[in-house]
Amino acid sequence: MGEWGINGVSIITPDKHIDRGSVTVKDDIIEKITEQSPKSIFTIESDGVLSPGLINSHDHLLGTYYPKVGNGPYENWLPWDNDLKSAPVYEERQQIDNKDLYLLGGYRNLLSGVTSVSDHIPHFVNEPFLDLLPTKVIRDYALAHSVSSFALAWGDGITVEYQKAIKENIPFITHIAEGFDDETVKDVSTLDRLGGLGDHSVLVHGLAFSDDDIKLIKKRGATVVWCGDSNTFMFNTTARVKNMLDEGVNVCIGTDSPMSGGLNLLFEMKFDREYYSKTYGEELPDEQIVKMVTVNPSRGFWLQNTGILRHGNLADLVIFRKTDKNPYTSVVNAEIEDIELIVINGRPMFGNAEHSELFEFLKVPFQEIEVNGEQKIVVGDLKGLLRRISKAVGFKKEFPFLPVAFEV
């Protein structure tokens, strides 16, 4: 694709913070990170904060819609699902082509700084759409819907799927302990008995984890995905995240779908920080939160070349407006309009209109959009997508997670 650079940014690297540095990108790879200006290549200047691209560790892209549906608290996920499918807004969503729902989910993630997302659903459902999306979806995974006897029939069974994960060195993803009925509270021991608990396991939700469950999860080396807003909406509580962090469990953050969860990953980070403070009477450091959307999911999903800014990794990058002297706080406090530039595999995907020359230099077509009154540019046809959705449902449908001006 070409060689280009970013200069003047505050860089978050795995082991240190560079106050004013530069990054050189060659094709889809990070070529160099230094405190010196790139030379003899096309360079953009920024005084923002450069972060690895964010990783959303749990979403259901086909379920991307708004508003939330539910009348909890629920005993487990199943009665919520029944409420969802009987709601008028679900019938409204059903009028939209699946391709456009996937695009909607892709843009919802992209505009919140997400360069990779875990779409928890069988492969045959999402594979027709993945190449169409503006952000990356984790493609290689084994899965089960959940552990209980009333789980949806996803995959070939926990035992087989986990062995597949080990053989192919990919994550095994499942909902777990999502509720408090007699069966669901035993999910961890059931999963372990079936041979599905190990260092390839990505366990989503975990509301009913006991102390012994958490110790076993740590012992087995599994990853847990915290979906704080979705959990509190459906159950009035969420996972015992402090206990897991104190035990040393690898914890990541996910949004779930916006029909139960937060608007986007930017919202979720702030929600989780506030929830932690109110629940535990202490602060969850912003640096820790940023790790939960970068380094931790890179480890948990066996992503060897993303989630960390270093030479040789994929150039998945986000520049955030600097709003605080602490660069991690600038990331956690960010709103969509605070995102200056998003790069995926070395290709600019979304950003401030002032960076149009970079898109043009790399021959990346873009669309001009207005986001919360600010001029931005984005790949693809986001306004056309919003018009198609509005036509499908019969009125101008607006989404708070995509505050983009458009005409129908």
Q: Are strands 136-137 and 223-226 parallel, antiparallel or unpaired?
A: unpaired
- pTM for the full predicted model: 0.98
Q: Does residue 356 lie within any of the structural domains?
A: yes
Q: Does residue 350 lie within any of the structural domains?
A: yes
Q: Does residue 375 lie within any of the structural domains?
A: no
Q: Does residue 407 lie within any of the structural domains?
A: no
Q: Does residue 403 lie within any of the structural domains?
A: no
Residue 39: per-residue pLDDT: 76
SS (H, E, C) 85-154: HCCHHHHHHCCCCHHHHHHHHHHHHHCCCEEEEEECCCHHHHCCCHHHCCCEECCCCEECCCCCCCCCCC
- For 47, how many CA atoms within 13 A lie in the half-sphere containing its CB? 4
Q: Does residue 273 lie within any of the structural domains?
A: yes
CA-based nearest residue to 281, from 230, 249, 248, 242: 242
Residue 37: per-residue pLDDT: 81
Mark whether 12 and 93 lie in a shared domain.
Answer: no
Mark whether 168 and 147 lie in a shared domain.
Answer: yes
Mark whether 247 and 324 lie in a shared domain.
Answer: no
Q: Which residue has the tokens 């560790």?
A: 57
Residue 333: per-residue pLDDT: 98
Mark whether 365 and 234 lie in a shared domain.
Answer: no
SS (H, E, C) the chain: CCEEEEEEEEEECCCCEEEEEEEEEECCEEEEEECCCCCCCEEEECCCEEEECEEEEEECHHHCCCCCCCCCCCCEHHHHHHHHHCCHHHHHHCCCCHHHHHHHHHHHHHCCCEEEEEECCCHHHHCCCHHHCCCEECCCCEECCCCCCCCCCCCCCHHHHHHHHHHHCCCEEEEECCECCCCHHHHHHHHHHCCCCCCCEEEEECCCCCHHHHHHHHHHCCEEEECHHHHHHHHCCCCCHHHHHHHCCEEEECCCCCCCCCCCHHHHHHHHHHHHHHHHCCCCCHHHHHHCCCHHHHHHCCCCCCCCCCCCCECCEEEECCCCCCHHHHHHCCCHHHEEEEEECCEEEEEEHHHHHHHHHCCCCCEEEEECCEEEEECCCHHHHHHHHHHHHCCCCCECCECECCCC
Mark whether 165 and 284 lie in a shared domain.
Answer: yes
Give the total number of structural domains in the chain: 2
CA-based nearest residue to 21, from 38, 2, 4: 38
Mark whether 199 and 136 lie in a shared domain.
Answer: yes
Segments in the chain below pLDDT 70: 40
Residue 353: per-residue pLDDT: 97
- For 291, how many CA atoms within 13 A lie in the half-sphere containing its CB? 14
Residue 36: per-residue pLDDT: 82
Model pLDDT for residues 189-208, shown as the tens digit of each residue = 999 999 999 999 999 999 99
Residue 2: per-residue pLDDT: 87
Mark whether 158 and 240 lie in a shared domain.
Answer: yes
Q: Does residue 223 lie within any of the structural domains?
A: yes
Q: Does residue 141 lie within any of the structural domains?
A: yes
Residue 38: per-residue pLDDT: 78
- Whole domain around residue 125: which residue ranges? 54-300
**The CATH number of the domain where 208 resides is what?**
3.20.20.140
